[in-house]
Each structure stands twice: as C-alpha cells, then as structure tokens.
C-alpha cells in the first residue's frame, strides 16, 4: 500500500527540527569576542594582531603571497574591480547566473558587465562561450562558484592568460574547494571570500581577498582601508590616510570570530562535503532529478546549500506543485531566487535610476542555461550544515520525494492539473 502524500492529508515524511542545523559560534569564537569587548578592543588598530593572524592563515592556506580582510565579500569584489583597473567603457565578462555582488559593483567604475551563459553541470561561467565575447574593451572574467562546485577554473585561467585578462574569483561559497591541487580562490588573479551567514567561516559579516600580485594587493588596500596600514609600494602612499572614499575595514569583533573559526575550517569542510555527498546520492536515485556534477579530481568548497534541476516532464507535476508537495512533507525546498539570474536582474534593468544612461536588458535566448535555472533549479538551504551529519535527514527527504512520486495522479487531481 502506498503512503498518502502530506499535501493530500497524509503524514509528513520529514520530522526535522531545522533549528538544530543552526551553525552557532563555537566556544572559542565566543570567548575571543568577549575578551575583545572586555579589553575595549573596538577599533581596527587594537585588533591588528588578530587581523594579521587571520590574513596569514588565509594566505598560507591558499599558498598565496597576500591576503587582505574586508567588511564583506561584496566590498572585496568592489575593491577588486578597481584593483584590476576597470574604467569607463571597459567590459568585464560575468556569468549570466550567479550572485549580484560580483556584477553590480562594475557599474561604479563606468564599465559594462557582459554576460556569458553558465555550464549546466557546474552552474559556473562556461569557458567554451567566453572567447566570442572578448574584444579590445574586455579587461577580465569573473567566475562564481554558486554551489561550491568548482567551475572549469583551469580553462578560465588559460583564456585569461591567452588574452591578457584579469580573472576574479568570487569564491564566497567555494572556501576549501580544490581544482587540480590548487585551492578555489587562488587560481584567479584575486580570489574573494565571505564570512557572512551560511559560510563555513561565519563571523556575522566580513570578507577577505587572496592574491599573489603586489600591485593588486596595494590597489585593493587603497580603495577602502584608510589610516590603518601602509601600502607596500610608496606609489600608493597617497591613499594611506584617506583611501579612495569608501571604508572596507573588517569589524574588530568579526575578525576575532573568523580567526578562531579558521582553526576548524578543514573539519567543517569535510563534514559539509560528507553531508552534500549523502544528499546528492539520495537525489540521484530519482530520474526526474538532475544534480550538479563534481569532477572526480576536484573538491567542492563548503557551502551550506545545495541545488538540483527538477525535470517537470519526467515526473508529470508542475514545478510549483512539486515544491508545494515537498514543503507539505516538511522539506525546505524552493525555487532559486530570481535575482540570481543575473542577466535579467531587476537592479540592473533599472540601473539608470542611479547611473546615467545605464540600463541592462538582455535577451533570454542568449542564456538558455541561466533561463533553465530560472525555471527549474530547486534549492535546499542550510541542509549541508557542517554542524552535524545530516544522513538521517537525507533519508527523510528521500521518503518525501518517493511519496510524491507515488501520488502523482492523486496530486494532479487535487490540483486540477
Ligand atoms: C556567491 C556569493 N558572492 C558574494 C557574496 C557576498 O558576500 P557578503 O555577504 O560577504 O558581501 C555572497 C553572499 O552570500 C555569495 O553567496
């Protein structure tokens, strides 16, 4: 006898209390914050040793010469755009699907984001399509690892070298991942990471860049790190007191948290990847679900969410109905945010409210994979949490999906589809 779907009045398949997946700061992180508070260390000058310590840990981990902390990955990306020398009428090739922080800052430089579709398997920018967008105005390429899966970073590096372009990695969701023995974030000219919620090192807010290029380090520092420290090259000393009009310093309490959390990084990456693996294996048993592909040679970065394509025609339920039925079972699954389909992002469509003559409207025909994402990519937030093995939850999710598959005819009747 088949079990009745929860949407039709049956019992929920998932009993998970999602609160237990919350990634709370550990004891050491809490102690470091309390110590800083008690000592009144609430300025960047006072915690400079902790900042140095975190930056050293990051540059060592990525085998890169320099690391520089920021108050967010968004500001790290903003500084990176200025660091590579992006100016009016330049072009930067960016993925048609990703996160806005790697695209919107381009507008402040007067340059233009040029969208390139993403690969279906990794959802990162498609290297095979990039060359057709390169012209004399192109200054660089941006890669984003939306679900921790490394994109084809080696190929991107090759293209960037061939055309003398900069490669910026938005590695906010890629920390701990590897491609061919190199860490995600260290393959580009600049790699940017985030310490905001859901990241494997979470410090409330914060970010960091890694680079091997001294000039890029100096320029990133000069954009928004006033007073606190000097650039390496005296050419940029003119910015050391004031920076270039914005403030990007990391918050002193965030740096205390991130510095302690870093010491658990490898353990967290391992647990997160184990959880991701068990969810992926579970999802792969369903012919109407298509998961992202991780090359055997690569290692996924630790990100708390996962994504998969739902094939409407294989199961015979509309995407919205499938999601409704899953949520009725107690699953927490939703459609990918529209704003991440960047080529059609609403802020870019209306950018002329802030920037003269700048309005970006792109045709969906040029971006079939990004368009497929908009229609059929489902996301599960937080379930790959590093805080505990999620094996049992993946079994519950499996039951929920099976139940829906067994009740397709009844659900369609119920929804009049
Ligand atoms: C892929 C990606 N890039 C950039 C960011 C921005 O990071 P932050 O919140 O530190 O600015 C995020 C935040 O979630 C992200 O997921």
Does ligand 1 have an atom closer than 6 angstroms to the CB of 80?
Answer: no
CA–CA dist 45, 166 (Å, integer): 32
| Element holding 277 (H helix, E strand) | helix 265-284
**Structure confidence at residue 19 (pLDDT):** 81
CB of 41 shorter than 6 A to ligand 1: no
Q: Report the separation in Å between the CA atom of 196 and the middle of ligand 1, taken as the mean of its atom positions.
A: 7
- Model pLDDT, residue 381: 87
Distance CA 289, CA 378 (A): 10
Out of 70, 72, 74, 94, give the residue to mutate to test ligand 1, the one with the largest number of ligand atoms within 8 Å of its CB.
Answer: 74
Cβ–ligand 1 distance for 70 under 6 Å, the answer no
Spacing of C-alpha 128 from chain mean position: 22
Residue 208 CA, ligand 1 centroid: distance in Å:
11
Structure token digits, residue 35: 């110590």
Looking at the CA of residue 206, tell me the nearest atom of ligand 1: 10
Atom number in ligand 1 closest to CA 303: 16
Say how many Å lie between the CA of residue 33 and the centre of ligand 1: 23
Q: Report the phi/psi class of residue 372: left, alpha or beta, with left for phi > 0 and alpha for psi in -120 to 50.
A: alpha
Q: What is the pLDDT of residue 386?
A: 85
Supply the pLDDT for residue 390.
78
Task: Report mean pLDDT in 10-residue bins for the chain, 417 residues.
Answer: 92 89 88 93 80 97 98 98 97 98 97 97 98 98 97 96 98 97 97 94 96 98 92 96 95 96 96 94 97 95 95 97 98 96 94 88 90 97 82 90 97 93
With a 6 A CB cut-off, is 101 part of the ligand 1 pocket? yes
Instruction: Give the nearest ligand 1 atom to 205 CA.
Output: 10
Q: Which one, of 221, 208, 229, lies nearest residue 56 by Cα?
A: 208
73 lines ligand 1 (CB under 6 A): yes
3-state secondary structure 283-342: HHCCCCEEECCCCCCCECCCECCEEEEECHHHHCCCHHHHHHHHHHCCCCEEECCHHHCH
Q: Is 340 in the pocket of ligand 1 (CB under 6 A)?
A: no
> What sign results for the dihedral spanned by CA atoms 307, 121, 294, 314?
positive
Say if ligand 1 is within 6 A of residue 69 CB: no
Transcribe 31-77 into DSSP letters.
Answer: HHHHHHHHTT--STTTTHHHHHHHHHHHHHHTT-SEEEEES-HHHHH
State whether the beta carbon of 172 lies less than 6 angstroms from ligand 1: yes
Q: How many CB atoms lie within 10 A of CB 132?
A: 8
Q: Ligand 1 atom closest to Cα of 199?
A: 14
Q: Is 170 in the pocket of ligand 1 (CB under 6 A)?
A: yes
Cα(103) to centroid of ligand 1, in Å? 11
Ligand 1 pocket check for 154: Cβ under 6 Å: no
Which residue has a Cα nearest atom 2 of ligand 1?
Answer: 172
Burial class (CB in 10 A: 0-12, 13-18, 19+), 146: buried
**Contact (CB, 8 A) for 78 and 106:** no
Task: Return the pLDDT at 18.
Answer: 82
If you measure from the C-alpha of residue 243 to the centroid of ligand 1, how many angstroms do you get, rounded to a whole number? 23
The whole-number pLDDT of residue 338 equals 95
Q: Which of 101, 193, 248 most suits a substitution to test ligand 1, by most atoms within 8 Å of the C-beta?
A: 101
Q: What is the atom index within ligand 1 of the atom nearest the CA of 198?
A: 14
Residue nearest to atom 15 of ligand 1 (CA): 172
Q: Can you tell me which atom of ligand 1 is nearest the CA of 207?
A: 10
Q: Whose CA is nearest to atom 3 of ligand 1?
A: 172
What's the CA-to-centroid distance between 2 and ligand 1, angstroms?
43
pTM, whole model, 2 decimals?
0.96
């Amino acid at each position: 006898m088949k079990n009745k779907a929860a949407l039709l009045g049956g019992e929920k398949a998932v009993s998970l209390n999602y609160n237990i997946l919350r990634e709370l700061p550990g004891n050491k992180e809490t102690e470091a914050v309390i110590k800083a508070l008690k000592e009144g260390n609430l300025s960047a000058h006072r915690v400079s040793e902790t900042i140095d310590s975190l930056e050293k840990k990051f540059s060592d981990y990525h085998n890169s010469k320099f690391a520089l902390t920021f108050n967010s990955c968004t500001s790290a990306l903003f500084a990176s755009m200025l660091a590579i020398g992006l100016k009016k009428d330049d072009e930067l090739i960016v993925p048609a699907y990703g996160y806005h922080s790697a695209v919107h800052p381009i507008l402040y430089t007067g340059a233009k984001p040029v969208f390139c579709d993403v690969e279906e398997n990794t959802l990162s920018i498609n290297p095979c399509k990039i060359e057709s967008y390169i012209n004399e105005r192109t200054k660089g390429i941006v890669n984003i690892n939306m679900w921790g899966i490394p994109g084809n970073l080696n190929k991107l590096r090759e293209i960037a070298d061939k055309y003398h372009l900069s490669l910026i990695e938005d590695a906010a969701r890629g920390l701990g991942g590897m491609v061919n023995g190199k860490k995600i974030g260290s393959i580009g000219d600049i790699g940017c990471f985030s310490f905001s919620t859901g990241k494997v090192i979470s410090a409330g807010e914060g970010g960091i860049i890694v680079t091997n290029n001294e000039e890029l380090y100096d320029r990133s520092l000069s954009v928004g790190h006033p007073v606190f420290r000097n650039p390496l090259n005296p050419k940029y000393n003119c910015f050391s007191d004031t920076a270039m009009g914005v403030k990007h310093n990391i918050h002193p309490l965030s740096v205390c948290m991130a510095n302690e959390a870093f010491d658990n990084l490898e353990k967290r990456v391992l647990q997160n990847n184990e959880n991701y693996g068990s969810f992926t294996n579970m999802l792969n048993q369903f012919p109407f679900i298509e998961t992202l592909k991780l090359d055997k040679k690569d290692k996924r970065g630790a990100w708390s969410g996962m994504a998969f394509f739902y094939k409407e025609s294989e199961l015979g339920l509309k995407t919205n109905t499938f999601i409704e039925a899953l949520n009725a079972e107690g699953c927490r699954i939703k459609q990918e945010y529209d704003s991440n389909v960047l080529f059609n992002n609403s802020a870019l469509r209306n950018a002329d409210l802030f920037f003269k003559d700048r309005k970006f409207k792109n045709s969906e025909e040029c971006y079939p994979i990004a368009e497929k994402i908009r229609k059929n990519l489902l996301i599960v937030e937080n379930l790959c949490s590093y805080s505990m093995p999620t094996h049992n939850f993946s079994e519950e999710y499996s039951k929920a999906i099976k139940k829906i598959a067994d009740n397709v005819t009844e659900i369609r009747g119920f929804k009049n589809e």
